[in-house]
């Protein structure tokens, strides 16, 4: 059953609304982001063919024998892209909680091109490092890039909703987002044939790091849970045709914690179940050099910001390196 309280936002309707109506719908998004920062976005305009192709190529990749997948593995610890095999990441470590590794594998890819003039050695070695493409299945790279490009555009449109929600001009964030360093991650949570270790789950409790995440969970699948403002775990229901959106730590910082980067996790199938689960997560991240400084719009007169400014790229790098081993 769908959770009747999980908010669903109609993006197409927002985009064609009058300024007054946009402000009203934006206020609703502000309310959601003050609460959990998790919502579903429907009527997003992304072609189903693009979604289905990326999904099925990712699935076919995960179905390959382990040795073949390993040929596109990240070449060293801390390398952000390529195949990350089972039990190499524990997301709970990002919150200093020591758990056994997450029960998942992933394929990860970065920006589709390096912006002209980019010369920062750290950026080139990290965010703009090459994606280690798999040799199979045929058509993987094409489908991946089409999905990445579509989601990059969708993320920008959602950031415009966020600007409206904060009472800013709709395009306020655009200049921070013209060379974003987002990452796309296909996730596979294999069937569970052996009992997990104590404290071992599919994705340990964590918050996302960036501006926003666009998640496509497997249709009808279970397991994604978020902490409610009341402190309880609740399940995010799968909503057909919609993406699940959540804001990340950088957005909480930008808004001086007016908005919440909510803790979430993926739990194991219920006792007796062992179902495989797949998802695709697009982690949107502002330009490498973007300076993220608390928005004046989120401070009362004379109120000091809780956070000093950070640069998007180095901030992401530090967060990422805490969770891979």
Ligand X SMILES: O=C(O)CCC(=O)C(=O)O
The CB-nearest residue to ligand X is 279
Q: Using CB distances below 5 to 8 A depending on partner kind, what does residue 187 bind out of ligand X, Fe ion, none?
A: ligand X
Nearer to Fe ion by C-beta: 208 or 249?
Answer: 208
CB of residue 284 to ligand X, shortest distance in Å: 12
Nearer to ligand X by C-beta: 21 or 235?
Answer: 235
Q: Is 64 left (phi over 0), alpha (psi -120 to 50) or beta?
A: beta
Instruction: Check if the beta carbon of residue 286 is closer than 8 Å to that of residue 250.
Output: yes
CB of residue 22 to Fe ion, shortest distance in Å: 28
Nearer to ligand X by C-beta: 166 or 215?
Answer: 215
The sheet carrying 8-10 orders its strands as: 8-10, 38-42, 243-247, 212-217, 277-284, 183-189, 105-109, 82-84
CB of residue 216 to ligand X, shortest distance in Å: 9
The CB-nearest residue to Fe ion is 208
Q: Is 308 left (phi over 0), alpha (psi -120 to 50) or beta?
A: beta
CB of residue 223 to ligand X, shortest distance in Å: 7
Nearer to Fe ion by C-beta: 26 or 204?
Answer: 204
How many angstroms separate the CA atoms of 249 and 257, rounded?
9
Instruction: Check if the beta carbon of residue 201 is closer than 8 Å to that of residue 211.
Output: no
Q: Using CB distances below 5 to 8 A depending on partner kind, what does residue 279 bind out of Fe ion, ligand X, none?
A: ligand X
* Binding footprint of Fe ion on the chain (CB under 5 A): 208
Nearer to ligand X by C-beta: 158 or 295?
Answer: 158
* Binding footprint of ligand X on the chain (CB under 6 A): 187, 203, 208, 215, 217, 224, 264, 266, 279, 281
Q: Using CB distances below 5 to 8 A depending on partner kind, what does residue 266 bind out of ligand X, Fe ion, none?
A: ligand X
219: CB partners within 8 A, 6+ apart: 238, 240
Q: Using CB distances below 5 to 8 A depending on partner kind, what does residue 37 bind out of Fe ion, ligand X, none?
A: none
DSSP codes, 130-174: PP---S-STTHHHHHHHHHHHHHHHHHHHHHHHHHHTTS-TTTTG
Nearer to ligand X by C-beta: 79 or 320?
Answer: 320
Q: Using CB distances below 5 to 8 A depending on partner kind, what does residue 290 bind out of Fe ion, ligand X, none?
A: none
291-292 and 310-311 strand pairing: antiparallel
Instruction: Check if the beta carbon of residue 33 is closer than 8 Å to that of residue 270.
Output: no
């Amino acid at each position: 059953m769908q959770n009747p309280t999980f908010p669903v936002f109609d993006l197409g309707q927002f985009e064609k609304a009058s300024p007054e109506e946009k402000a009203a719908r934006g206020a609703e998004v502000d309310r959601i982001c003050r609460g959990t920062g998790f919502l579903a976005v429907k009527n997003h305009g992304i072609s189903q063919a693009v979604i289905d192709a990326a999904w099925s190529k990712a699935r076919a990749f995960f179905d390959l024998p382990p040795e073949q997948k390993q040929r596109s593995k990240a070449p060293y610890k801390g390398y952000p892209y390529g195949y990350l095999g089972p039990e190499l990441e524990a997301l709970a470590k990002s919150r200093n909680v020591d758990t056994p590794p997450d029960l998942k594998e992933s394929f990860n890819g970065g920006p589709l091109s390096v912006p002209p003039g980019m010369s920062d050695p750290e950026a080139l070695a990290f965010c703009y490092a090459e994606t280690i493409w798999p040799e199979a299945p045929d058509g993987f790279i094409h489908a991946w890039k089409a999905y990445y490009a579509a989601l990059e555009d969708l993320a920008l449109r959602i950031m415009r909703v966020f600007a409206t929600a904060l009472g800013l001009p709709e395009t306020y964030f655009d200049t921070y987002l013209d060379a974003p360093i987002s990452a796309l991650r296909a996730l596979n949570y294999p069937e569970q044939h052996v009992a997990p270790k104590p404290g071992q789950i599919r994705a340990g409790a964590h918050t996302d790091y960036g501006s926003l995440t666009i998640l496509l969970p497997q249709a009808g699948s279970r397991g994604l849970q978020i902490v409610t403002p009341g402190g309880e775990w609740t399940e995010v229901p799968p909503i057909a045709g919609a993406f699940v959106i959540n804001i990340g730590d950088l957005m909480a910082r930008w808004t001086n914690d007016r908005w919440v980067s909510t803790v979430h996790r993926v739990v194991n199938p219920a006792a007796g179940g062992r179902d495989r689960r797949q998802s695709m997560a697009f982690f949107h991240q502002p330009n490498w050099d973007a300076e993220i400084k608390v928005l004046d719009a989120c401070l009362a007169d004379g109120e000091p910001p809780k956070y000093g400014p950070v640069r998007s790229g180095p901030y992401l790098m530090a967060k990422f390196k805490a969770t891979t081993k």
